[in-house]
Amino acid sequence: MRLFLLALLLTPIITLSQVKSSVKWAFTAKKISAGVYEVHLAATIEAGWHTYSQTTPDGGPVPTSVKFTANPLIMINGTVKEIGKLEQKHEPIFGVDVKQYSNKVDFVQNVKLKAHAKTSVTGEINFMVCNDRECLPPSTVNFSVSLN
């Protein structure tokens, strides 16, 4: 009987911990010259869902944001670029024109090593996904990419 009651009490916790994930992330680095790398934060988005550009306007869905952890061996060059098919449309739910990506998008940041050393670029990416019926709460994913 106690085991049955325990199972009943834990069922909502287990169900809540199984949050739907509509985006799969891959984190890589590509060496483009001596000490200079492109860090790729690539999202593969489940069919029917979309995520938002970093430049989605206020009042709309949560725009994607990338934060890099400070590393004395690395210099961040420029801003994060978005590579993918940008879709712009008026979203009546939010009342604004949104900028979004479906299927896939690659967020790319150039970094330069300040010294010849093995290190990693770390940080977090915060994003939101929606489909035609619902939006999932914003999610944060930590990343770490080795620079060799």
> Is the dihedral angle over the CA atoms 50, 56, 60, 62 positive or is it negative?
positive
Q: How far apart are CA 30 and CA 37, in angstroms?
A: 5
Q: Which of 65, 71, 85 is nearest to 37 (CA)?
A: 71
Query: Has residue 40 been placed in a domain?
Result: yes
Q: How far apart are CA 142 and CA 30, in angstroms?
A: 19
Query: Has residue 12 been placed in a domain?
Result: no
Query: Has residue 34 been placed in a domain?
Result: yes
Q: What's the number of domains the chain is made of?
A: 1
pTM: 0.84
Q: Is the pLDDT of residue 98 over 80?
A: yes
Query: Has residue 9 been placed in a domain?
Result: no
Task: Report in angstroms the alpha-carbon separations of 108 from 4, 41, 91, 115, 134.
Answer: 50, 6, 26, 22, 28
Query: Has residue 10 been placed in a domain?
Result: no
Query: Has residue 89 been placed in a domain?
Result: yes
The two beta strands, 129-130 and 96-102, are: unpaired
The parent domain of residue 96 ranges over 22-147
Query: Has residue 8 been placed in a domain?
Result: no
Q: How far apart are CA 46 and CA 91, in angstroms?
A: 20
Residue 130: pLDDT band (50, 70, 90) is: very high
Q: What is the pLDDT of residue 20?
A: 62
Q: Give the mean model confidence (pLDDT) for residues 71-75.
A: 96
pLDDT, tens digit (0-9, with 9 covering 90-100), for 18-31: 346 799 999 999 99
Q: What CATH code is carried by the domain that includes residue 26?
A: 2.60.40.1250
Query: Has residue 1 been placed in a domain?
Result: no
Strand blocks (E) in the chain:
23-33, 36-45, 50-52, 65-68, 74-83, 87-91, 96-102, 104-113, 119-127, 129-130, 139-147
